Amino acid sequence: LCDAFGWSLGLVSRILVRTINEGSTLVMKAINLNSAKHVKSALAAAPRKRRATWMLKVTVGTQSISPLLWSIQSGSIEAAKAIIEDLLTFRADRDRYYYGVDDLFLRHPDFIQVITSEAPVLLRVLLDRLIWRSRVVVAGVRRVNIYLEHLVIDKDA
């Protein structure tokens, strides 16, 4: 009985160590520190094409977790704010523009409900980042795009 208990405890500890090692990305470490500065430095190495994935999906074994959702649920509000701001920033390269709004709502279709119930302070950050403002003013008017698609249409539309 003692050997069986020791073996099972050893197995559980090896599984936990493997899970921690595989899930320990730079972004997850920054979330645990609740530091916007560390989140920004962790994402500095991310290529534009994979940047949203770094913030929205970490796979450990057969399980997949979202660093953004993890930061909100664990109370790391500063890290979550930095992730939302980075995810909803326009970036470009020669081939295309990158804006993470579609990736965000594809991964978390219920994100508005989550953010309003668990971190309402982030709602203003999210809504501010769903607006693009042109830097050019013509005749006193500035062009603005508001990305409301995911707020008014559900996935079954």
Ranges of the chain whose pLDDT falls below 50: none
Please, which residues have CB within 8 angstroms of residue 116's CB and are 6 or more apart in sequence? 123
pLDDT at 91: 87
Please give the Cα distance from 139 to 43 (Å, whole number): 38
For 30-50, write each residue's pLDDT tens digit: 888 889 999 999 999 888 888
Q: Is the pTM of this model over 0.85?
A: no
H-run or E-run covering 22: helix 2-23
Phi (first) and psi of residue 141, to 5 degrees = -120, 140
Q: Return the SS3 of 91.
A: strand
| Neighbour tally for 9: CB within 10 Å | 10
pLDDT at 49: 85
Decide the pairing of beta strands 58-60 and 63-65: antiparallel
How many angstroms separate the first and last alpha carbons of the chain?
Answer: 57
Please give the Cα distance from 121 to 78 (Å, whole number): 10
